[in-house]
A = this chain, B = another copy of it.
Amino acid sequence: MLEEIKSWRHAFKIDPARPLSERWIADICESGTDAIIVGGTEGATIDNVTECLAAVRRFSVPCVLEVTELESLSPGFDAYFIPVVLNAHNPAYISGLHQQALKAHGQFLKTAEVIGEGYCILNRDSSAARRTNADAALDLDDIVAFSRFSESVLRMPIFYLEYSGTYGNVDVLKKVSQILEEAQLFYGGGIQTPEQAAEIATWADTVIVGNAIYEDKEEALKTVNVVKETTRQGKLR
């Protein structure tokens, strides 16, 4: 599965706490996106996560759960992304909750595809930053250092620049894309237009579109083709 994930250029992230119509789910799943990620900082429950999965499973697109609430962990997803918030000041979000989850559900690893994401949360006003007590006031060199730590010390397969809800700093994205050699670079946050999606796709391996799904459907759908048509630059690998 990790090999397949490496080829993903575009994914939609849907929030299980914000229901979407059947028709809208169908449009997203049939958009040509590479994957649907079910994830949200607040309000994920076993019920709404299972509902999302059931809705998406009517289509052939891969469906991944990003685990943010132990209570919402449900079987049947193609893979499970586990965010490790590298710049959290609360150690629970770096290693603590993960350890508790694996204590309760360790056997889960035997049958499920579990993939860690080295997260760097960069919008200090986001609920993700508040929840994890993240030090989001980072300069370029800080973020580069986290990317190196994630890739070279931890050896995590994914490094995730998360601007949740705000459009990020493209200079940061470009620099990190030039630093990483092995890890897959995810970008998420504030992509509202195809133009923004193209700019991000120039540097990120995988472009995650979330909020736009809820704010401007048509623009959100347009991001898929734009990302697919954009050539990834700057990778030194």
Contact = CB atoms under 8 A, between A and B. Distances in A.
A157 interface: yes
A56 interface: no
B155 A99 contact: no
Contact of A148 (B84, B86, B109): B109
Contact of A84 (B101, B114, B144, B154): B154
B116 A155 contact: yes
Contacts of A146: 95, 99, 102
A223 B117 CA distance: 40
A156 interface: yes
B99 A149 contact: yes
Contacts of A116: 152-155
B95 A149 contact: yes
A103 interface: yes
Interface string A136-167: 00000110111011001111110000000000
Contact of A91 (B91, B145, B156): B91
A191 B103 CA distance: 29
Nearest to A99: B145
Interface in A79-95: 82, 84, 86-91, 94-95
Interface of A: 82, 84, 86-91, 94-95, 98-103, 106, 109, 114, 116, 141-142, 144-146, 148-149, 152-157
4 shortest A-B CB distances, which residue pairs? Answer: A103-B145, A116-B153, A102-B145, A91-B91
